[in-house]
Amino acid sequence: MNIFVAGGTGFVGEHLIRQLKFDGHKPKLLVHHRSTTFKDVDQMSCDISDIERLSQGMAECDAVINLIGIIREFPSRGVTFEKLHTAATAALLEAAAKSGVRRYLQMSALGSRADAVSGYHKSKWQAEELVRSSALYWTVFRPSLIFGPRDAFINMLADQLRLAPVMPVIGSGSYRLQPVHADDVARCFSLALDMPETFGKSYEICGRDRISYEALIDMISESMGRSVPFKPHLPLGLMKLIIPVMQKFSQFPITMDQLQMLLEENIGGTEWQEVFGFQARALREGIREYLSV
């Protein structure tokens, strides 16, 4: 199949493009500027709001995959959840319908729901609603925290541990996560293209290991060949006063939106393994592959 991929130049996109090519598909990347990372992949430069040009780019494609997403807003730069999650999805759906593409796959996020509290989850849910109301043969994926080489979260924690064997923890640190490997997410997307039984379905894509945030820090440190770090606990009430002020600075590592999602936990089902016919990769072995180097 010829696959139009939006948002494919990021971390997950690299895994997806590699998987699509391995499975015999021909991806076409929507980019801002031509990427040297994907020299052997067809690329087109276009603003996400240009419906006509998007439609032309999709003309010879059999399916559209939307990976566009951000984890943090920068309104002064025009980087918002509404623009890149909701409006971008609306544009891609309209362009797909206009070009005659019938198959559409959407990257959402675990925790997206009608009564979501965080802006991130709210916008992801709004985008899902647009997909569900379309006449396309759609499939929605809701991955948990995604890990793998070049990921943002695991590598950020590892970088902090390299500076000093100290890792502050907000609140109890008992809130749980269920990370899934980027290769597993990419494989689900690629397999779904040829699976009519996934039409009109949404899937939570979670890893096999549920782990507390505090235990994850220890696992990361051990995977790097280091001893368990000192983990001072920061009072949640105090951090809720500090974060709204400090999140205005882009270098500050967490926003109130991200804190909300962390406290809600990031765990879900693994029924997807039966649908797609393979098991999720183990967390410890997965992070050792790139942290022990």
- Per-residue confidence band for 39, with pLDDT thresholds at 50, 70 and 90: confident
pLDDT of residue 101 exceeding 90, the answer is yes
Threshold 0.85, pTM exceeds: yes
The letter for the amino acid at 250 is S
**CA separation, residue 227 to residues 69, 164, 165 (Å):** 35, 11, 8
For the chain, what is the mean pLDDT? 96
pLDDT at 34: 76
Tokens 């001072």: give the residue: 232
Give all domains of the chain, ordered by start, each with its CATH number.
2-146+180-206+268-280 (3.40.50.720)
Q: Hey, what are 168's tokens?
A: 């502050």
| pLDDT above 70 as % of the chain | 100
The pLDDT of residue 216 is 98
For residue range 158-209, list pLDDT tens digits in order. Answer: 999 999 999 999 999 999 999 999 999 999 999 999 999 999 999 999 999 9
The phi, psi pair for 30, rounded to 5°, reads -85, 125
End-to-end CA distance of the chain: 36
Six-digit token string for 80: 């918002």
DSSP secondary structure letters along the chain = -EEEEESTTSHHHHHHHHHHHHTT-EEEEEESS--GGGTTSEEEE--TT-HHHHHHHHTT-SEEEE----SS-BGGGTB-HIIIIIIHHHHHHHHHHHHT--EEEEE--TT--TT--SHHHHHHHHHHHHHHTSSSEEEEEEE-SEESTT-SHHHHHHHHHHH-SB--EETTS--EE--EEHHHHHHHHHHHTT-GGGTTEEEEE--S--EEHHHHHHHHHHHTT-PPPB-PEEPHHHHHHHHHHHTTSTTSS--HHHHHHHHH-B----THHHHHT-PPPPHHHHHHHHH--
b/e sequence 2-18, b meaning 16+ C-beta within 10 Å: ebbbbbbbebbbbbbbb
Burial class from Cβ neighbours inside 10 Å (0-12, 13-18, 19+) for residue 166 reads exposed
Are the C-beta atoms of residues 181 and 286 closer than 8 Å to each other?
Answer: yes
- Would you say 70 and 107 are in contact if contact means Cβ atoms under 8 Å apart? no
Specify the pLDDT at position 61: 97
Q: Which residues of 52-69 are buried (b: 16+ CB within 10 A; e: fewer)?
A: ebbbebbeebebbbbbbb
Residue 127 is predicted with a pLDDT of 98
